[in-house]
Amino acid sequence: MNYFNNYRCTRCGQEYEPDRVKYLCPVCSKDYQPGMPLPGILECVFDYARIAIAWQEFCIAFPSANPSQKIEELCELFSPLNKEYYPNLPVGNTPLICSQSLVGESLYLKFDGVNPSGSYKDRASNLVVAEAKRLGIKEIVTASTGNAAASLAALCAAAGIKAVIFAPAKAPPAKLVQIKIHKAELHLVEGTYDDAFAAALAYSATHECLNRNTAYHPFTIEGKKTGGLELYAQLGVVPDYIFVPTGDGVILCGIAKAFYDLKEAGIADRLPILVAAQSESSDAITSYWETGVYKDAAKPQTVADSISVKTPSAAHLALKVLKDTKGMGIRVSDEEILSAQKMLASRTGIFCEPSSAATLAAYFQAREHALIKDQAIVVLMLTGHGLKDINAVKFDD
């Protein structure tokens, strides 16, 4: 039993029955060309009235439910798939750490490096692999800067499904090792992540398989929603600000979707302010938010490989999310990222990827420019484990 009703196009609003469409809105995606942000991304629409009732019943039956129990319930109520399809490898329910040691006041750190493959991507892979199981599909393809591939490889291994990966040859070695040890089929692309994205689309157009390209399959956003649901269950309130490391913009959109859904079901009363933390060299979503005109990032080259994207696939939806939540984009330099990474590791015990440390660097900028209200509840999404890219770390001595 679940409460998933329909897909809805985030551009034209047209609704589609599940199983009648697979990826993008058939109308809005007509003139899609590789190398542009995806038009007509689909979102899942639920029966919010029935979810509201089910949540009320849960709260009455378990008045002293702990955060983990609430997470389990919320993730089940707002999932488009029944539990039975999920791979046998637990994903999510990651710790939320309240730290005073970074800036003197409380900052919440959501550490997703503890997921099975070490990143937030497991949330999306989990749901797409479950979908393949439901459909009886035996092969899943994806493009990746590294983490999505490592994640798909692991979850496919758990489910006995073949993973086919297109990744840039320059991906950090640990991520390539993850892909290989899980026995995924690896195609190294001489070029960028954006080239890999196009190669994976071409592959699924000619092979019997499911495509997990981020934002292209609607369940990537839907899977990445669970991190937002968890924040709500762990804090007991909607946080004021959530800083999200942003490349394609799908984690940003997924976290936003959690709060759109919670609000729609009358469970939460407002949206958090979402902040896209971007590398200054990979800032297409921030520029789009500033100018209202979409333009590719000129030269995406950053130590934070996971957020290195020229053409963010979810750019249009990410812009809507920043507007709806009165959010903003913030650019940070590699230097700021690496210093934030060290600060997190030495003061909180969390060793995260450079991409994830971009959130702390962006938070410092936001404070410096007085963009954060006093006493606000602020969450930084630390999306990946530092061991995935040890070559990024430089020591002065």
Ligand X SMILES: *Cc1c(COP(=O)(O)O)cnc(C)c1O
Q: Which residues would be at the binding site for ligand X (CB under 6 A)?
A: 119-121, 147, 214, 245-252, 306-307, 353, 355-356, 383-384
Q: Residue 70 or residue 212: which is nearer to ligand X going by CB?
A: 212
Q: Residue 8 pairs with which residues in a beta bridge?
A: 15, 43
Q: Min. distance of Cβ 41 from Zn ion in angstroms?
A: 9
Q: Which residue is at the shortest CB distance from ligand X? A: 384
d(CA 262, CA 52): 9
How many CB atoms are closer than 10 A to CB 149?
31
Task: Return the closest-CA partner of residue 150 out of 349, 383, 314, 354.
Answer: 383
The DSSP bridge pattern shows strands 4-9 and 42-46 to be antiparallel
Q: Residue 262 or residue 317: which is nearer to Zn ion going by CB?
A: 317
Q: Is 384 in the site for Zn ion (CB under 5 A)?
A: no
User: Backbone phi, then psi, for 134, in 5-degree steps?
Assistant: -60, -40
Q: Residue 231 or residue 265: which is nearer to ligand X going by CB?
A: 231
246 binds, among ligand X, Zn ion, none (CB under 5 to 8 A by kind): ligand X
Of 25, 44, 253, 360, which one interacts with Zn ion (CB under 5 A)?
25
Q: Min. distance of Cβ 272 from ligand X in angstroms?
A: 17
Q: Residue 142 or residue 313: which is nearer to Zn ion going by CB?
A: 313
Kindly state the helix (H) or strand (E) to which residue 87 belongs, with its residue range.
Answer: none
- For every residue of 100-146, DSSP letters joined together read STTTSS-EEEEEGGGSTTSBTHHHHHHHHHHHHHHHT--EEEEE-SS
154 binds, among ligand X, Zn ion, none (CB under 5 to 8 A by kind): none
Q: Min. distance of Cβ 40 from Zn ion in angstroms?
A: 4
Q: Is 12 in the site for Zn ion (CB under 5 A)?
A: yes
238 binds, among Zn ion, ligand X, none (CB under 5 to 8 A by kind): none
Q: Residue 252 or residue 380: which is nearer to ligand X going by CB?
A: 252
Q: How far is CA 116 from the centre of its chain?
A: 15
d(CA 116, CA 121): 10
Residue 316 vs residues 38, 269, 378: alpha-carbon distances, Å: 8, 25, 25
Per the structure block, which two tokens stand in for 213? Answer: 């390209």
Task: Return the closest-CA partner of residue 307 out of 280, 335, 278.
Answer: 278
249 binds, among Zn ion, ligand X, none (CB under 5 to 8 A by kind): ligand X
Q: Residue 279 pairs with which residues in a beta bridge?
A: 332
Binding mask 27-46 for Zn ion (x = CB under 5 A): xx-----------x------
Q: Residue 20 or residue 394: which is nearer to Zn ion going by CB?
A: 20
11 binds, among ligand X, Zn ion, none (CB under 5 to 8 A by kind): Zn ion
Q: Min. distance of Cβ 251 from ligand X in angstroms?
A: 4
Q: Min. distance of Cβ 317 from Zn ion in angstroms?
A: 12
142 binds, among Zn ion, ligand X, none (CB under 5 to 8 A by kind): none
Q: How far is CA 323 from the centre of its chain?
A: 18
214 binds, among Zn ion, ligand X, none (CB under 5 to 8 A by kind): ligand X
